[in-house]
Amino acid sequence: MHRVLGDRRAIAILLGPALLVYSLIMLVPMFWSVGYSFTKGNTIEGFTWHGFGNFSHLWSDPNAHQALWFTLKYAVVVTVGQVAVGYLLALLYVFFLRRASALIRTLVFFPMVLPTVAVGLLFKALFQIAPQYGPINQLLVDVGLHPIDWFSSTGTAFIVLVIMDVWRSMGFYAVLLYAGLVDVPDDILESARLDGASGLRLVRHIVLPLSFPVLMSSLIFSINGTLKVFDSILPLTNGGPGNSTTPLTVLMFNTAFDYGDYGYGSAIALLLTVVCLLVTLVVFRVSRRDLTKG
């Protein structure tokens, strides 16, 4: 095996096809898109050189600022929600439900296999106010409260979005973190217990540091997924009310494909790429810290 992997041609043959496919479907469109961001136009009327015009527009465009702010706010809140609830569920599986957790794991994971659009429509119906009250508003009325038009204000629409995305993904992160937690050696846990550690102290000083790598992986998965959120937004709020729940992805899509401005759409895409890169770098930097020394 060492001889095979030491041979440059063998490495080229093994890596070549995957690299070729990756380059064609990932890298080429990326560089292409960067090229577009210096142009104005679309496939109908053609492209003209626009220099840094799209970037200066990006700098001064209130819609782009709003979308960037919403994207960051949404990513932070939903990532914390998904990973925290997932971690709590994983702790529940490992320390309380133990072997009996299989059924609960499957049930909690279930929303993950549903198409996001279906989940979006489900939540829209759950929280609707017209033409009939959805179950949530009916419940509010039944307990003597006023029904809420959840999708008419930014704050309440954001709450529904967060609840939906945390509910949809928590099962996935619970399973991912569960896989990390079952790898924590029993003898270390046992010796910690003998030393008097239990409950929160056990989690804080033993379980958390030992499951830290998988926690970091979950965070990176989650933050990158939530920064690029698209399919949750469209069926539930379609970026509204107004454009207050429009993330960068939806703005980019509308700009390029609805408004027919590929150049500015590509500039927004580039901004999103840079944001993803920066956030990932920050998470990696933080993950180098050794929790056992904290």
Cβ-based nearer residue to another protein, 13 or 88: 13
> What angle do helix axes 62-91 and 212-227 make, rounded to 10 degrees?
150
Q: Does 159 contact another protein by CB under 8 A?
A: no
Q: CA 37, CA 261: separation in Å to the nearest integer?
A: 10
Contact call for residue 43 and another protein (CB under 8 A):
yes
Q: Quick check: 48 binds another protein (CB under 8 A)?
A: no
Residues 277, 250, 44, CA angle at the centre, nearest 5°? 105
3-state secondary structure 123-168: HHHHHCCCCCCCHHHHHHHHCCCCCCCHHHCHHHHHHHHHHHHHHH
142 binds another protein (CB under 8 A): no
Rounded least distance, CB 24 to another protein, Å: 6
Q: Is 259 a residue that touches another protein (CB under 8 A)?
A: yes
Residue-by-residue DSSP string for 81-110: HHHHHHHHHHHIIIIIIGGGHHHHHHHHHH
Candidate residues 149, 189, 202, 273; the one interacting with another protein per rule CB under 8 A: 149
Site residues for another protein, 195-234, by CB under 8 A, read none
Counting contacts by CB under 8 A, is residue 128 touching another protein?
yes
Gap between the Cα atoms of 100 and 163, Å rounded: 27
Phi and psi at residue 51, to the nearest 5°: 55, -135
**126, 135 in Cβ contact below 8 A?**
yes
Instruction: Point out which span in 79-87, 91-99, 236-244, 271-279 binds another protein (CB under 8 A).
Output: 236-244
- Residue 158 CA to residue 70 CA, distance in Å, equals 9
Q: Cβ closer to another protein: 58 or 91?
A: 58
- Minimum CB distance to another protein smaller for 224 or for 238: 238
Q: Decide whether 131 or 199 has the Cβ nearer to another protein.
A: 131
The CA distances from residue 83 to 20, 63, 77, 178, 199, in Å, are: 35, 30, 10, 12, 20
Measured from the CB atom, the residue of 76 and 148 that comes closer to another protein is 148
Nearest to 111 by CA among 173, 64, 57, 156: 173
Binding residue (CB under 8 A) for another protein from 36, 40, 61, 178: 61
Does residue 152 bind another protein (CB under 8 A)?
yes
* Residue 180 lies near another protein (rule: CB under 8 A): no
Q: How many CB atoms lie within 10 A of CB 3?
A: 7
Find the shortest distance in angstroms from Cβ 253 to another protein.
8
Min dist. Cβ of residue 248 to another protein (A): 16
| Interacting residues with another protein (CB under 8 A) | 17, 20-21, 24, 42-46, 57, 61-62, 124, 128-131, 147, 149, 151-154, 238-244, 254-255, 257-261
